[in-house]
Structure 1
Amino acid sequence: MTLRVGTRGSALALAQTKALAARFSGEVEIVEITTRGDVDRGSLAEIGGTGVFTSALRDALLDDRVDVIVHSMKDLPTAPHPGIALAAVARREDARDALCARDGLGFDDLPEGAKVGTGSPRRAAQLRRVRPDLEVVDIRGNVETRLARAQGPDADLDAVVLALAGLTRLGRQDAVTEVLGLGRFPTAPAQGALAVEVRDGDDAARRAVAPTDHLVSRACADAERLVLAGLEAGCSAPIAASAQVDDGMLFLTATVYAADGSQHLTSSHAYTLDGQSARELGDAAMDVAGRAVRELVDAGAMDLDRA
């Protein structure tokens, strides 16, 4: 049996899917699927970021046009989808954001009033919070298109901010002029992680992708996405969450921003682990996320203007 693996057709989606599919059991066939997010050039805020990169893939899976679908996990809606199961979360790449600027500039070296491009409301809010003098420009397009806005011969921006994981998977680390630290630029929930979904009850497909499941990456991504769910927010909301397992503990820090960067609220919690079984990691993710959400809500997170 050949495993049909569905993916978006962008260079990044194909690169990360092919690399992951090479670790599935048996023969695989890559099937390219066009999503709304690939053809609609509107901003994520305008077209409603939740599901725009995933719905068409899920439709193909449920219609039995493919057996497995691979997503950037940060694009997944947080609510479970009827008939679909999350079969694996691959070992996570470095989740941090990267500045790709003209002339090798770092973030603090950008001149006053510099134009910085991003399509992410979270990144836009962070840029405005840290450097209110910057002009944040909404951009869309594939990685090379966005890089060209700052580093191409016809560049019209001083810099763009992209996910380091995507640049790494495309072999474009050369474009990075600074990796942005989590202290000032915490990342999107599940950024850098890949999610593998199958039809609920398809045990053969689940077994085929099982070698790529990484329990710690799954737990960290789950903790971060539970923050999104608890705050009733979509994947394009100006919310950051970063979790990691270190020294026998699962740590989570979550931050909610006003869209203009004028306000933000942060909550950090930890859970002591006795081991790293799937059940314990899952319990830890739910515990830290639940405490972070309660603290953020009590502090007024739902009252921030996130639009």
Structure 2
Amino acid sequence: MTLRVGTRGSALALAQAGDIAREITERTGVPTELVPVTTHGDVSRESLSSLGGTGVFASALREFLLAGNCDLVVHSMKDLPTAAYPGLRIGAVPVRADARDTLCARDGLTLATLPAGSRVGTGSPRRAAQLASRRQDIEIVDIRGNVDTRLNFVSSGELDAVVLAAAGLGRLGRSERVTEYFDLDSWPTAPAQGALAIEVRDEEHSDDLARALASIQDEATHAAAVAERRILFRLEAGCAAPIGAHAVVENNSVTLHGAVYAPDGSGQLASTHSAVAGAPRTGAGEAEDFVSLSSASIIETAEAVGTALADELLARGAAALAPLKQD
């Protein structure tokens, strides 16, 4: 059988879905075809924050999948709501691309060397807050549009720079436009940025689909994304909230850094938590940020680490610092 891969119709969505389709065929021999779907987020020119962020790109794809018009859909995981969707489940999470944010500026400039008064574009409240926290003397411009549209704002001189995800630039072959990569330790990005989620119907699948999902699943990426997205879930926040997170999964350990930003960049709350799956606590008072899980899987460990970090941020006043809950 030919597996039908549902995807948004944007250039980036088609590129990443095409990568997944080719990978499935190369690894399993199962033929695939792309089935593009237009979503409200693709045609609206409103800002991401005014659209509500969470689910704006996912709903049409999900309904298309539930109607049986395709066998799986490919989401940018950072755009996917954290709540379960009735009748669907995440069937696989492939190896993650570069999770960093980048600056694409005129004349090879970096954030530090942009002149005062420079106009820097982003559609992300989190990126806007991070920019403002570092450079109060620049103008942050709310923009929409696909990757090439945003890059053209710089080429035309309308903007001095834009902030874009390294993963998207790489998938489109636009990495040469990057003038600076932001370090994840000091500039955590959107939870699950760079990761893809393959969603399927919550039912028994054909042998071909089951083999396809197994062939592209990467457990470390899955666990890292779970840890990061657990912060959003616990804070009842959406993907447009000013929250950054980055998890590192090595062997059986999960280390998660997360931050919540004031929208104007005037403050932030940040913390790091770690855990090892199957490692018992060695004594009271030791390693207070260490979650003890005597027989947990790496996914369960990731969930626990994300929950613990989010609870700490809430206790320290995250809800008062930034708008978290969605309408």
TM-score of the pair, normalised by structure 2: 0.90
Give the Cα–Cα distance (whole angstroms) in 2 for the partners of residues 78 and 247 of structure 1: 25
Structure 1 residue 306, shift from structure 2 partner: 2.5
Give the Cα–Cα distance (whole angstroms) in 2 for the partners of residues 249 and 94 of structure 1: 20
Aligned partner of 1:89 in structure 2 is: 93
Contact map agreement 1:198 1:206 (CA 8 A) in 2:
no
Contact map agreement 2:278 2:296 (CA 8 A) in 1:
no
Give the Cα–Cα distance (whole angstroms) in 2 for the partners of residues 69 and 206 of structure 1: 14
Residues 15-55 of structure 1: CA distance to partner in whole angstroms, max 9, x if unpaired? Answer: 11111111224111100000111001100111111111000
Contact map agreement 2:260 2:322 (CA 8 A) in 1:
no
Residues 59-83 of structure 1: CA distance to partner in whole angstroms, max 9, x if unpaired? Answer: 0000111110001000000000010
Structure 1 residue 134, shift from structure 2 partner: 1.3
Structure 1 residue 304, shift from structure 2 partner: 1.6
Structure 1 residue 297, shift from structure 2 partner: 0.7
Residue aligned with 1:107, SS: coil
Contact map agreement 2:92 2:199 (CA 8 A) in 1:
yes
Structure 1 residue 279, shift from structure 2 partner: 5.7
Aligned partner of 2:167 in structure 1 is: 165
Q: Does 1:15 align with 2:15?
A: yes
**Larger radius of gyration between Structure 1 and Structure 2:** 2
Aligned partner of 1:61 in structure 2 is: 65
Paired letter, 2:168? G
Unmatched segments (≥5 aa) in structure 1: none
Structure 1 residue 11, shift from structure 2 partner: 0.8
Contact map agreement 2:220 2:250 (CA 8 A) in 1:
no
Contact map agreement 1:8 1:35 (CA 8 A) in 2:
yes
Structure 1 residue 84, shift from structure 2 partner: 0.3
Aligned partner of 1:197 in structure 2 is: 199
Residues 230-271 of structure 1: CA distance to partner in whole angstroms, max 9, x if unpaired? Answer: 001001110011000247521001101111111210111001
Unmatched segments (≥5 aa) in structure 2: 280-294
User: Alignment partner for residue 107 of structure 1, among 101, 104, 111?
Assistant: 111
Paired letter, 1:3? L
User: Alignment partner for residue 235 of structure 1, among 234, 239, 245?
Assistant: 239
TM-score of the pair, normalised by structure 1: 0.95
Moved more, 91-100 or 196-205: 196-205
Moved more, 223-232 or 24-33: 24-33
Give the Cα–Cα distance (whole angstroms) in 1 for the partners of residues 34 and 213 of structure 2: 14
Contact map agreement 1:249 1:271 (CA 8 A) in 2:
yes
Q: Does 1:133 align with 2:150?
A: no
Give the Cα–Cα distance (whole angstroms) in 1 for the partners of residues 75 and 204 of structure 2: 18
User: Alignment partner for residue 175 of structure 1, among 150, 174, 177?
Assistant: 177
Give the Cα–Cα distance (whole angstroms) in 2 for the partners of residues 68 and 242 of structure 1: 27
Paired letter, 1:93? A
Structure 1 residue 133, shift from structure 2 partner: 1.2
Give the Cα–Cα distance (whole angstroms) in 2 for the partners of residues 240 and 305 of structure 1: 12
User: Alignment partner for residue 70 of structure 1, among 65, 71, 74?
Assistant: 74
Residue aligned with 1:23, SS: helix
Aligned partner of 2:319 in structure 1 is: 302
Segments ≥4 residues shifted beyond 4 Å? none
Task: Give aligned pairs, total.
Answer: 303
Paired letter, 1:253? H
Residue aligned with 1:203, SS: coil
